[in-house]
Amino acid sequence: MTAGVKRIVLTTRESALAMWQARHVATRLKVLHPGLEIEISGMTTEGDRRLDTSLAKIGGKGLFVKDLEDALARGAADIAVHSMKDVPMQLQPGHVIGAVAERADPRDAFVSNNYPTIEALAAGARVGTSSLRRESQLRAARPDLVVLPLRGNVPTRLRKLDEEQYDAILLAAAGLKRLALSERIRALLSTESSLPAAGQGAIGVECRADRADLIELLRPLDHAPTALAVRAERAVARTLAGSCNVPLGAYAEVSGDTMRLRGYVGSPDGARTARAVLEGSAADPEALGIALAERLRAAGAAEILASLEASGVR
C-alpha cells in the first residue's frame, strides 16, 4: 500500500451500474493494496434528478459528474469513479484522471422483445435511445424508423421497453454485461455500423491533481492500451467541441505501438454524415486525435457543426 494512504472515500452515482463500477474499482484497489480501507459514498447527481428532459437540452452528460467533482474539491471524497463516456472533455480545474481501467465491450447493443436485429424492424417501429450519436447513425441507416428519447438508468429503460413504450432500445453493451443482463441483448452493433462514444466501455477514476499520494495509489489500476485509446478519442471530441449536444463518435484500437482511430460526426437526423480514419503512433494519442478531428472537418464535419451551431443545437 502507498505510504500514508490507509483509507479513502470513493464517490459515485447511486445507479446500479455506477455502484457496480465503484465496487469493481474498490475490489481491484484492495487487491493491489492489501489493507486499504475504502468507503463507497453514493450520490444522486443533477443528471439523475432531471429525467424529464433530454441531456442535450439541460447541459449534457457533465451533469452526472459535476456533483462528484464538487465532493472531491471540498475534500468530502478522495476519488470519484465515472463511466469515461460521461466525463466532460474538460475536467474541473485542479483535477486529473488518475487511472483508466481495462475497457469492457465498447459496442452498442440492440435490445428488443420482438425483433432480432435493427434490419428486422418494421418500418415505423419505435426505437428508444438517450444518445444523439446513436440516433444519428440509426437514422442514417434506417430513416423509416421512429426514434424516441429514452432516459433513466438501465433497469428503468428495460422496464419501459417491457411496457411496450418502444419496439426496441439501444444501450451500451458494457452496462448490460456488467449488470448481468447479457441475455437481454438481441444483437451487438459492429463499430462500423454504430461507432461508439469517446471512452465508451471504460471506467475512469478521478482525483485532485495535488493528491500525489492518490495518483501513485491509482497508478497500478491504469491499463495503458485503454488509457491511450481513450485519450485519443477524447482529443477528437475536445477538438470538435464534442458534447452530448453533438452526434459524435470516436473509437481507437491499439496494437503494439500503433493506433487506429476512427471518427464520426452527423446531423441528428442522419441526413449528413462525416467519417474518417487515421493510423499512427500510439505514443502521442492527443496528436492523433487532433489530426483525425481535422480530417473529419475536411470530410464535412465543419459544415455539420456549423449548422448545429446556427440551429442552436450546440
Quick one: pLDDT at residue 64? 73
Q: 237-311: which CATH architecture?
A: 2-Layer Sandwich (3.30)
% of the chain surpassing 90 pLDDT: 85
Q: Distance (Å, rounded) from C-alpha 40 to C-alpha 295?
A: 43
Has residue 312 got a pLDDT over 80?
no
Q: Which residues are paired to 279 by β-bridges? A: 260
Out of 45-49, 151-155, 309-313, which region has the weakest mean confidence (pLDDT)?
Answer: 45-49
Quick one: pLDDT at residue 53? 54
Ranges of each domain in the chain? 7-101+202-222, 108-188, 237-311
- Domain 7-101+202-222 is found in CATH 3.40.190.10: yes
Has residue 1 got a pLDDT over 90?
no
Which cell numbers in the block locate residue 38? 475504502
The answer to whether residue 86 is catalytic is: yes
Q: How many residues does the chain have?
A: 314
Please compute the mean of the pLDDT values over residues 151-160 and round it to a whole number: 95
Neighbours of 54 (CB within 10 A): 16
Quick one: pLDDT at residue 58? 42
Quick one: pLDDT at residue 48? 54
Quick one: pLDDT at residue 171? 98
Q: Which amino acid is at 187?
A: A
Indicate if 108-188 has the same CATH topology as 7-101+202-222.
Answer: yes
Query: What is the 8-class DSSP label of residue 90?
Result: S
| Residue of 1 and 250 predicted with greater confidence | 250
Q: Is 219 helix (H, G, I), strand (E, B) or coil?
A: helix
Contact status, residue 179 vs residue 111, Cβ threshold 8 Å: no
* Element housing 177 (H / E): helix 173-178
Sheet holding 7-13, edge to edge: 37-43, 7-13, 79-83, 203-208, 95-100
Which cell numbers in the block locate residue 197? 462514444
Average pLDDT of the chain?
Answer: 92
CATH superfamily of 108-188: Periplasmic binding protein-like II (3.40.190.10)
Quick one: pLDDT at residue 46? 61
Q: Which amino acid is at 266?
A: G
Find the catalytic residue in 78, 86, 105, 167: 86
pLDDT band at 55 (very low <50, low <70, confident <90, very high): very low
pLDDT in tens, 243-252: 557 899 999 9
Q: Distance (Å, rounded) from C-alpha 152 to C-alpha 128?
A: 11
DSSP result, 141-176: H-TTSEEEE--S-HHHHHHHHHTTS-SEEEEEHHHH
pLDDT band at 242 (very low <50, low <70, confident <90, very high): low
Please compute the mean of the pLDDT values over residues 241-267 and round it to a whole number: 91
pLDDT in tens, 77-112: 999 999 999 999 989 999 999 999 999 999 999 999
Quick one: pLDDT at residue 241? 77
pLDDT band at 4 (very low <50, low <70, confident <90, very high): confident
* Element housing 71 (H / E): helix 66-73
Q: Distance (Å, rounded) from C-alpha 102 to C-alpha 203?
A: 8
| Residue of 242 and 33 predicted with greater confidence | 33
Please compute the mean of the pLDDT values over residues 224-233 and round it to a whole number: 98
